[in-house]
């Protein structure tokens, strides 16, 4: 006998009578883990071999009959016969006490989950129902901030800044801009529900959201600017630093005089250098010419042809005799 129609009728009867456990909420992040507690109190110490746990997910659209079967544990053993195909290849664990753990969460996992506990001895009797609402969140990417201008600009320049972030869920609220300069910190919040268009724009891609914002600021000094996506989980960009181009003061008369004196000194040193080495080179050339002139042969008797001393004396005596 198929017990599923009886279980469904019993569930709807208990809910209509207000005897079922109120809906609980649990939040999980995309790619994370969701833990759903069955909270079955086995006051009669019924053996696990006489208990049957079934987890179902309510269909988002009421098409056909019944819900998706997520997991089933019968007499302590995992049963796959009734599990819906979309959950067969998922990483899902059902504990001996009926608790459910879903890993690698996706946005499609959001919805209402029901835990049924049946006591099976002679007949199958519904012992407990637990209802959970699973809320799925997806964090926005780290916002990227940029500008149309260079990061170094003239003072009092009007700059357009842009901030963007994507793949978040659910829909964000707005963008929070923070500017820090020499006068302190300035903050500006743009509510996307009130400001549409260039100031703040939200787009939907499948189920995730993308947010864009523009912001104009007159840069009077060096600044640091950030943007923060205001959502279920706020996330901020890295700071963008913008500097002011420093203007050089016009040269004064004293500065020009300094440059003239320096130029004169340099020219003087160069002139002295060339004159000194030019004269030194010229002296060397003159010395060579003089030595060559003094080395020429003179019109004198060769020392080798001179008479010896004795001969000179005899010549002298002969000269005296002749005179007398």
- For residue 176, is it within any domain? yes
User: 9 by DSSP, 3-state: which?
Assistant: helix
Task: Find the CATH number of the domain harbouring 49.
Answer: 2.60.40.10
Last residue of a domain, one of 211, 244, 277: 244
Task: Examine the domain organization and report whether 183 and 72 are in the same domain.
Answer: no
Last residue of a domain, one of 219, 244, 269: 244
User: What pLDDT does residue 284 have?
Assistant: 62
Reported in sequence order, the residue ranges of the chain that DSSP labels E, i.e. its strands, are 24-29, 34-36, 51-57, 68-74, 77-78, 92-94, 100-102, 111-120, 124-137, 144-147, 152-153, 157-168, 174-181, 184-191, 200-205, 208-219, 223-230, 235-236, 240-244
User: What pLDDT does residue 319 have?
Assistant: 46
Instruction: Read off the pTM.
Output: 0.63
Task: Examine the domain organization and report whether 30 and 66 are in the same domain.
Answer: yes
User: What pLDDT does residue 277 have?
Assistant: 77
Task: Examine the domain organization and report whether 11 and 133 are in the same domain.
Answer: yes
| Structure tokens given for 11 | 């569930």
Angle (CA) 197-201-202 rounded to 5° is 145
CA 314 to chain centre: 121
- For residue 305, is it within any domain? no
Task: Examine the domain organization and report whether 132 and 8 are in the same domain.
Answer: yes
- For residue 322, is it within any domain? no
End-to-end CA distance of the chain: 189
- For residue 269, is it within any domain? no
Task: Examine the domain organization and report whether 133 and 149 are in the same domain.
Answer: no
Task: Examine the domain organization and report whether 19 and 122 are in the same domain.
Answer: yes
- For residue 197, is it within any domain? yes
- For residue 249, is it within any domain? no
- For residue 292, is it within any domain? no
User: What pLDDT does residue 270 have?
Assistant: 87
Instruction: Check if the beta carbon of residue 67 is closer than 8 Å to that of residue 112.
Output: no
Q: Which domain holds residue 200?
A: 144-244
Token pair 């819906």 is found at 84
Last residue of a domain, one of 137, 165, 180: 137
Task: Examine the domain organization and report whether 187 and 223 are in the same domain.
Answer: yes
Counting as low any pLDDT under 50, the low residues of the chain are 1-7, 9-11, 13, 15-21, 288, 291-293, 298-304, 306, 309, 312-313, 315-317, 319-324
Cβ partners under 8 Å of residue 76, min gap 6: 48, 49, 96
Burial of 2 from C-beta contacts in 10 A (0-12 / 13-18 / 19+): exposed
Question: Bridge partners of 78?
Answer: 73
**Structural domain count of the chain:** 2
- For residue 313, is it within any domain? no
């Amino acid at each position: 006998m198929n017990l599923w129609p009886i279980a469904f009728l019993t569930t709807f009867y208990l809910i209509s009578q207000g005897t079922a456990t109120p809906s609980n909420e649990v939040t999980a992040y995309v790619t994370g883990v969701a833990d759903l507690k069955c909270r079955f109190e086995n006051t009669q110490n019924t053996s696990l071999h006489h208990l049957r746990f079934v987890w179902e997910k309510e269909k988002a659209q009421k098409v056909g009959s019944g819900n998706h079967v997520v997991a089933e544990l019968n007499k302590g053993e995992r049963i796959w016969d009734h599990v819906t195909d979309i959950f067969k290849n998922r990483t899902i664990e059902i504990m001996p006490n009926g608790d459910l753990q879903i890993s690698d969460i996706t946005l499609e996992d959001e919805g209402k989950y029901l835990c049924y506990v049946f006591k099976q001895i002679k007949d199958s009797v519904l012992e407990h129902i637990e209802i959970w609402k699973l809320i799925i969140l997806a964090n926005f990417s780290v916002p990227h901030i940029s500008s149309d201008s260079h990061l170094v600009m003239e003072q009092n320049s009007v700059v357009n800044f842009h901030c963007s972030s994507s793949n978040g869920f659910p829909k964000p609220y707005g963008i929070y801009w923070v500017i820090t300069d020499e006068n302190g910190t300035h903050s500006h919040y743009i509510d996307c529900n009130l400001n549409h268009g260039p100031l703040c724009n939200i787009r939907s891609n499948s189920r995730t959201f993308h947010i864009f914002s523009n912001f104009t600021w007159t840069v009077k000094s060096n600044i640091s600017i950030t943007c923060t996506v205001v959502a279920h989980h706020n996330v901020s960009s890295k700071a963008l630093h913008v500097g002011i181009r420093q203007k050089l003061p016009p040269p004064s008369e004293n500065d020009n005089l300094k440059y003239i004196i320096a130029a004169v000194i340099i020219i003087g040193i160069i002139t002295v250098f060339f004159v000194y080495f030019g004269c030194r080179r010229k002296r060397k050339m003159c010395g060579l010419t003089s030595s060559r002139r003094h080395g020429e042969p003179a019109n004198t008797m060769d020392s080798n042809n001179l008479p010896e001393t004795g001969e000179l004396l005899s010549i002298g005596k002969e000269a005296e005799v002749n005179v007398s």
